[in-house]
Amino acid sequence: MKIIDVRNVTWIRDDSTILHDVSWQVESGEHWCIVGLNGSGKTTLLNMINGYIWPTRGQLSVLGHTFGEFDLRELRKSIGWVSSSLQQRLYGSETALNIVLSGKFATIGLYDDFLQEDLTKAYSLLQLLGCEKLTNRRYDTFSQGERQRVLIARALMASPKLLILDEPCTGLDVFARELLLNMVDNITKQPDAPTLLFVTHHVEEIMPVFKKTLLIKEGKIFRAGDTLDLLNTELLSDFFDAPLDVERRNNRTWLLPSSNITEEKLKEDYVNEH
Ligand SMILES: Nc1ncnc2c1ncn2[C@@H]1O[C@H](COP(=O)(O)OP(=O)(O)OP(=O)(O)O)[C@@H](O)[C@H]1O
Ligand SMILES: [Mg+2]
């Protein structure tokens, strides 16, 4: 069974084509990074995968269900989605434990009765994400990195088959980012780990466990395939429309603007100003 099967999907809003003829397949057992600049269509594609918007043209199926033939609310129970908009909707007075427990019911706030086994699971997820110390503390006292990790634990509480992390490293310092990336790596090693989709602007966040990468540019799939085939100087310079140097370190790819980019830019700016 394919986890995601997007076929020739186009999405048009207000006379502009936001997604152009997108086709993309995610097989079971694969973890994907989705990389693209601001406004390239990443979140739009995820909104579609969650059934919040419908393709103008084309077809998609998620976790084996074809859109239009089943209850979307049921599907959403199998998908965990961590994004900045979720972060803002949570109540600051809730403890990390309650936030994680509420993930079972997909509610903002904890209203339902939970079982002892739910409590055990919540504790072990807090531990998996390195958040034990936060268990009984209020959410509004957490740092950005702590918030993200608690939200990932919350998403895992419902045992999703697909876990979407939309720019989880935004606002994190270099150490908080490495910690979060390590935790993400730990998730993939768990039995029954969900398929992961990790959205980012930064190529260096692509951990080795993400063997597949989708490069999206101006609403089109630029390339989709094996990460190692895509992250090279030529292809990435083309993708970002800028000369770049690529360095491999610790099984990850680091981007550096090539030495003449600054000079070229400066010249351009100089010419524009004078
Ligand atoms: N409901 C909508 N109506 C009109 N335009 C929209 C709508 N939703 C998104 N767009 C536009 O579609 C484009 C892609 O937006 P999207 O949020 O998918 O980008 P993104 O790749 O997630 O960007 P970022 O990295 O900044 O999060 C943007 O130009 C955005 O303004
Ligand atoms: Mg986005």
Enter the tokens of residue 227: 């990460």
Enter the tokens of residue 69: 């033939």
**150 within some domain:** yes
Per-residue pLDDT, 52 = 87
**45 within some domain:** no
**79 within some domain:** no
Per-residue pLDDT, 37 = 93
- State whether residue 57 is helix, strand or coil: strand
Which range, 11-15, 112-116, 239-243, has the best average confidence (pLDDT)? 11-15
Q: Say if residues 4 and 24 touch (Cβ distance below 8 Å).
A: yes
Per-residue pLDDT, 271 = 58
Per-residue pLDDT, 262 = 62
Domain span holding position 137? 89-159
Q: Which protein residue's CA is at the shortest distance from atom 16 of ligand 1?
A: 41
Tens of pLDDT, residue by residue over 156-207, are 999 999 999 999 999 899 999 999 999 999 999 998 899 999 999 999 999 9
Residue 272 predicted with pLDDT over 70: no
Residue 125 predicted with pLDDT over 90: yes
Residue 266 predicted with pLDDT over 60: no
Enter the tokens of residue 159: 């045992």
Q: Say if residues 124 and 156 touch (Cβ distance below 8 Å).
A: no
Backbone φ and ψ of 224, nearest 5°: -140, 130
How far does residue 39's CA lie from ligand 1's centre (Å)? 5
Task: Please give the mean pLDDT across all residues of the chain.
Answer: 90
83 C-beta closer than 6 A to ligand 1? no
273 C-beta closer than 6 A to ligand 1? no
Per-residue pLDDT, 68 = 72
**108 within some domain:** yes
Number of domains into which the chain is organized: 1
Tens of pLDDT, residue by residue over 133-143, are 999 999 999 99
CA distances to 21, 40, 56, 145 from 11, in Å: 8, 13, 5, 33
Q: Higher confidence at residue 92 or residue 25? A: 25
- State whether residue 61 is helix, strand or coil: strand
CB atoms closer than 10 angstroms to residue 212: 18
Helix axes 174-188, 144-156, angle to 10 degrees: 10
Q: Which protein residue's CA is at the shortest distance from atom 4 of ligand 1?
A: 13
**224 within some domain:** no
What's the alpha-carbon Rg for the chain, to the nearest Å? 20
**96 within some domain:** yes
**185 within some domain:** no
Collect residues with CB below 5 Å from ion ligand 2.
Answer: 42-43
**211 within some domain:** no
